[in-house]
Amino acid sequence: MIGFALGGFFDGILLHQILQWHHLLSGLDDPAASDLRFQILMDGLFHLLMYLLALLGILLVLRRRQNGLRPDGWQIFRLSLLGFSTWHITDAVLSYWLLGIHRIRMDSAQPIVWDVAWLIMFGILPLLIALRLPRLGGPASFAPSILVTALATGLMAGFGPALSNPNETIVVFRGSISEEAKMRAVLRAGADLRWSDPSGSIWGVSGISFASILNLYLDGAALVSTTPMVAGCLRWTQKS
């Protein structure tokens, strides 16, 4: 929990405030995205969540010490490093590529490059280091880390329906579906075609309802994204 919170603080302080590359909801396709007061408020609530997680982690460490369990310093460092990497992996997969609520560099022509570089540097590399450190003090329980990850993932995923962009949804069809079948699926869903990629597999549609998503899946869609920012990692496929 402490490492997870430190990862959130690291991103929030460095990227939101010092470098100002993005805010928590910079990718929101809504007039609120241009409201600096709103963005600062969301950043503040995000930091409050990280503060509470860090406080809970510290209380748990103190409780273990009161019960006569004294974790080794390397054990605490190793688990904190695991939490730090878990935050960055969770943030990359969920915030960048699934919800699309922000990217590392919002002003970059190739945001995926910055996303992957940041993930490797602060997610994958700390994870590999933590796994190489000696497991002193006995086996560790990863239940708190799983709980924190599930909690943060659920909270961020909750933004999806509330902030969903009703004007555009990305539909990825399976390769075996014909063009005629894809068009019939879109019309059956009551949607309008806005664009498609050169392969014909990725379509941008508008006017879709949540009730139509199931029909698209039944008609051969492999992915239907109604997230705030056009399917995150598929964002680069959109035509200008």
Concatenated DSSP letters for 112-164? HHHHHHHHIIIIIHHHHHHHHS--TTSPPP-HHHHHHHHHHHHHHHTHHHHH-
Q: pLDDT tens, 188-197?
A: 888 888 888 7
* Crossing angle of helices 2-11 and 36-66, rounded to 10°: 160
Cβ within 8 Å of residue 177, ≥6 positions away: 185, 219, 220
How much of the chain exceeds pLDDT 70, in percent?
Answer: 78
Whether the model pTM is above 0.85 = no
Q: How far apart are CA 39 and CA 15, in angstroms?
A: 13
Residue 231 has what pLDDT? 40
Six-digit token pair at 226? 């109604």
Please state, rounded to an integer, the average pLDDT across all residues of the chain: 79
Contact between residue 127 and residue 190 where contact means Cβ atoms under 8 Å apart: no
Average pLDDT over residues 72-101: 89
Nearest to 101 by CA among 46, 203, 23: 23
Q: pLDDT tens, 1-24?
A: 999 999 999 999 999 999 999 999
CATH numbers and ranges of domains, the chain: 2-159 (no CATH), 169-237 (3.30.70)
Residue 126 has what pLDDT? 93
pLDDT of 65 strictly over 70: yes
DSSP 101: S
pLDDT of 220 strictly over 60: yes
Average pLDDT over residues 126-141: 73
Q: pLDDT tens, 136-148?
A: 544 545 555 555 5
How much of the chain exceeds pLDDT 90, in percent?
Answer: 32
Average pLDDT over residues 173-199: 83
- Greater model confidence, 226 or 208: 208
